[in-house]
Structure 1
Amino acid sequence: MKIRQILPALTAMMMIVPLAACGGGAETTAEEGKSAEPEKGPNRGRMLRDGDFAVEMTIFEDGVPPMYRVYPSRDGKPVDPKMVKLTVTLKRLDGEINRFAFKPEGAYLAGDGVVVEPHSFDVEVVAVENGKRHVWKFANPEGRSKISAAAAKDGGIEIETVGPAVISDIREVEGVVQLATSARSEIRAQFPGKVMLVTKAVGDYVKKGQLLARIESSESLQVYPVYSPVSGVVAERNANVGNVAIDQPIYVITDPGQTTVVFNIFPRDLGTIRPGQKVDIETLDGQPIAASVLGGYLPEGNAAAGTALVRASVPNRDGRWRPGMALHGRVTVNAVTVPLAVRTEALQRFRDFTVVFANFGEDYEVRMLELGRKTPEWTEVLSGIKPGTRYAAKGAFLIRQDVEKSGASHDH
């Protein structure tokens, strides 16, 4: 298969060239820079010839795991498989080596193991027949591309390493900003009496210790000051000069920095959304605000909407989030750490498989995956790639496009 750079400006390409066979174990290299489609045999396999002796290499996978079947022949006529001793050695891009011994089964020699995907490797075939040793070596790349570091950077390809990750489900909830219960302070007269002075109006900002009012005690007739015990904004002023202050609050002061979001939880989610779970708070258009933790369910629900209510604190030092504003929440539920996961955006389609592209320097090669749980961020991997393998986490679609343009084959 041709291996080409993915970016149009990079026109250099690499050709994987098969090696010719020579009897008695001698090996010669085909002329570099030229390539040809391998000869196919009657069983649609690759023909390897050495003089009048030949073997047809096939990988049989109709309804079974892929395994080698090799058909020996001489001058185009079948040779009894019992008369041939055969071994196949595969060397993969990551350095893994697979060796297969063979035994006769009917008209062919059957390999003793599964040929794991991808079927991309350098192959060495050794056959001994009638006392003569035949050796073939050839490259069998599949789903592979070569990309320089500069081209990968320009194309937005980013590399990560396969390893453990936290997989969790997300529940979407909607909520409304409210003041925290601790954000409201009611300021009362210490002793009943006539209001002689008020200094603040609704909406004014008050610092802790500032003078709010002066009251003439009805018993002592002495005038005493009333100071603010907190900093905040005047939400209510319930007294004017000349009024008599008894037990009603003179002022209600609120701290706009102490806000919460009260989320509506529908009945279908009551079994999964619980106090203590993480919630990511966002604006309605998806802009992140803060990460918080759900508190306990409130005693009363939202009767009009038929929902339960749960509260989460939200930072609001600049007073941006006003009571009554609507916000969005993403609650993390059923979180579990899995031993192997890849970024979900790294997943691509290749033939009938879902794959990622493993990275080995400037080389990229498909890894066919068996997948488990999936979220927008992470996908669990059950098999198909080794822990610690580097892979294209971003920009993988560019690699796939290059592989498809180069005519990726499944050559058996």
Structure 2
Amino acid sequence: MRGLMSAGLLAMAFTLSGCGAQPESHEAHEAPEHGAAAEDYERGPHRGRMLRDGNFAIEVTIFEDGAEPEFRLYAYRDDKPIAPADVRIALELKRLGGEVDRFAFRPEGDVLRGNGIVREPHSFDVTVTASEGGRRHRWSYASYEGRTTIAAAAAAAGGVRSERAGPATIDERIDMSGRIEITPEGKAEVRAWYPGRVLAMRAQLGDRVAKGQALARVESSHSLQSYTIPAPIGGIIVEKNANVGAMTGDRPLFVVADPAMLHAEFFVYPRDAERIRVGQAVALRSLSGAARLQASVEAILPTADLASQTLLAHVHLPASAAEQFRPGMGVEGSFVVAVQPVPLAVRTRAIQRFRDFEVVYAKSGNSYEVRMLDIGRRTPEWTEILGGLKPGTEYVTDGAFLIRADIEKSGASHDH
């Protein structure tokens, strides 16, 4: 077994078998270590695997040139082709997890053609039986691709986690950009009640003040009596527009803002306007992705911007959001505009690339193997599976990239 190398992880023991990995005979063989190269077995005239027993031989090929993969077998005696009608053949594939595929063959021209599609992955233990001229022959060999074996303790140490595939709810989302703002209720202007001269300013820019706290004292120009101006709300002084001795005017003396009273404003383009509704769930995140929370649409302003024709959607933020988000920050929001249950889905983060396929790694005991997927709708959390994976299959959700890396380093092939 070989080590899975990743900084900070324990050494892992892997055993990988590549496609076409072992010599064959009429006696069953153990699976080989780490996938031998294609040249480790004899190839026939059609570049297939030669199975010999005395002077009789079968060449096994999988034909997949512009068609669904299917077995095509050729029979020989003394290395010369014999009529396919003179041979009876059955072939059995045992897959990881114990599932068995069986194939019968019919003569067609100079070939024995299998009666079904050889579905991906082409990774299995193969048994071939043949009868001709009153004699019976039997061969067994391993032909693996995209498969590895890891001890349970090593997999756990490497962060490999799994769960079973099943039904899930797929959210259809629309992504938009926006910004964090203080709500109208969270901001107040502190103005003089009557024109006059400022006698005292009792708060500075950036000070936190409580509701009712004295902020300024003004002498009225009419009565020459002074009066105290309190803070209308609690919050932080974000503007200071006067000093002692100044005359009050149109500008507020202070502006107080409560940083815990926030909402996000999103610009909704006309193509999306009909699908955004009050109450919809929104996944909010900072531009860096470091800050995240779940929120909901609280209001959609009915007036469109004249230049851009966008509407403004307000997303309510809880008071705790002030720990991560500040007024003026740019944010991204993912709006859930539809919810659809699906019978089979996997975690999106589990999906990896293998050859030209998107795959997950199925787990059976301590073995892991690719499953090529037919994918439907996809969200950041879930991906709908239309084919290639059976419900209830245990698959790797975390650490899949480590398995993929080891398989790629081991040279898993797709050769028949």
Shorter-chain TM-score: what band? 0.7 to 0.9
Structure 1 212/66 Cα, relative in aligned 2: closer, same or farther at 3 Å?
closer
CA distance, structure 2, for counterparts of residue 303 and residue 114 of structure 1: 59
Query: What secondary structure does 2:153 align onto?
Result: helix
- The residue identity in structure 1 corresponding to 2:351 is L
Provide, for residues 237-263 of structure 1, a one-character-per-residue CA deviation record: whole Å limited to 9, x for no partner.
9xxxxxxxxxxx999987553332222
Conserved 8 A contact 2:187-2:257: yes
1:6 is aligned to 4
CA distance, structure 2, for counterparts of residue 92 and residue 31 of structure 1: 13
Asked if 1:140 is matched to 2:147, the reply is no
CA distance, structure 2, for counterparts of residue 103 and residue 150 of structure 1: 48
1:20 is aligned to 25
Conserved 8 A contact 1:178-1:261: yes
1:310 is aligned to 313
CA distance, structure 1, for counterparts of residue 297 and residue 395 of structure 2: 36
1:355 is aligned to 359
Conserved 8 A contact 1:122-1:139: yes
2:247 is aligned to none
Q: How far is the alpha carbon of 1:86 from its aligned partner?
A: 1.2
Provide, for residues 101-120 of structure 1, a one-character-per-residue CA deviation record: whole Å limited to 9, x for no partner.
11111112111111111111
Structure whose alpha-carbon radius of gyration is higher: 1
Conserved 8 A contact 1:5-1:146: no
Structure 1 170/390 Cα, relative in aligned 2: closer, same or farther at 3 Å?
farther
Selected match of 1:263 from 246, 251, 266 = 266
1:403 is aligned to 407
Q: How far is the alpha carbon of 1:360 from its aligned partner?
A: 1.5
Instruction: List aligned pairs for 1:233-252, cutoff 5 A.
Output: none
Conserved 8 A contact 1:40-1:47: yes
Q: Which runs of 5 or more structure 1 residues have no equivalent in the other structure?
A: 22-26, 193-197, 214-225, 238-248
85-94 or 365-374, which moves further after superposition? 365-374
Q: How far is the alpha carbon of 1:170 from its aligned partner?
A: 4.1
Q: Kindly tell me the number of residue pairs found equivalent between the two proteins.
A: 396
1:297 is aligned to 300
Asked if 1:113 is matched to 2:111, the reply is no
1:150 is aligned to 153
Instruction: List aligned pairs for 1:6-405, cutoff 5 A.
Output: 6-7=4-5, 9=11, 13=15, 17-21=22-26, 27=27, 29=29, 37-163=40-166, 164-175=168-179, 177-183=180-186, 256-302=259-305, 307-316=310-319, 325-335=328-338, 336-405=340-409
Provide, for residues 113-140 of structure 1, a one-character-per-residue CA deviation record: whole Å limited to 9, x for no partner.
1111111111111112122221111111
- The residue identity in structure 1 corresponding to 2:139 is W
CA distance, structure 2, for counterparts of residue 280 and residue 81 of structure 1: 63
CA distance, structure 1, for counterparts of residue 141 and residue 292 of structure 2: 57
Conserved 8 A contact 1:282-1:327: no
Provide, for residues 374-393 of structure 1, a one-character-per-residue CA deviation record: whole Å limited to 9, x for no partner.
34443332211112222222
Conserved 8 A contact 2:362-2:393: yes
Query: What secondary structure does 1:151 align onto?
Result: helix
Provide, for residues 139-162 of structure 1, a one-character-per-residue CA deviation record: whole Å limited to 9, x for no partner.
111111112223323433332332
Q: How far is the alpha carbon of 1:70 from its aligned partner?
A: 1.2
Structure 1 160/13 Cα, relative in aligned 2: closer, same or farther at 3 Å?
closer
The TM-score with structure 1 as length reference comes to: 0.76
CA distance, structure 2, for counterparts of residue 166 and residue 73 of structure 1: 54
302-311 or 106-115, which moves further after superposition? 302-311
Conserved 8 A contact 1:264-1:310: yes
Q: How far is the alpha carbon of 1:355 from its aligned partner?
A: 2.0
Q: How far is the alpha carbon of 1:65 from its aligned partner?
A: 0.8
Q: How far is the alpha carbon of 1:233 from its aligned partner?
A: 7.0
Query: What secondary structure does 1:309 align onto?
Result: strand
258-267 or 295-304, which moves further after superposition? 295-304
Identity of aligned residues (%): 46
100-109 or 260-269, which moves further after superposition? 260-269
2:223 is aligned to none
- The residue identity in structure 1 corresponding to 2:276 is I
CA distance, structure 2, for counterparts of residue 389 and residue 354 of structure 1: 16
Q: Which runs of 5 or more structure 2 residues have no equivalent in the other structure?
A: 195-199, 217-228, 241-251
Provide, for residues 323-366 of structure 1, a one-character-per-residue CA deviation record: whole Å limited to 9, x for no partner.
5x234131224443333333334333323322222112221111
Conserved 8 A contact 2:125-2:140: yes
- The residue identity in structure 2 corresponding to 1:88 is L
Provide, for residues 37-88 of structure 1, a one-character-per-residue CA deviation record: whole Å limited to 9, x for no partner.
2211111111111111111111111111111111112111222211221111
Conserved 8 A contact 1:5-1:13: no
Structure 1 65/51 Cα, relative in aligned 2: closer, same or farther at 3 Å?
same
1:223 is aligned to none
CA distance, structure 2, for counterparts of residue 284 and residue 142 of structure 1: 41
- The residue identity in structure 2 corresponding to 1:282 is R
201-210 or 145-154, which moves further after superposition? 201-210
Q: How far is the alpha carbon of 1:30 from its aligned partner?
A: 7.5
Structure 1 334/183 Cα, relative in aligned 2: closer, same or farther at 3 Å?
closer
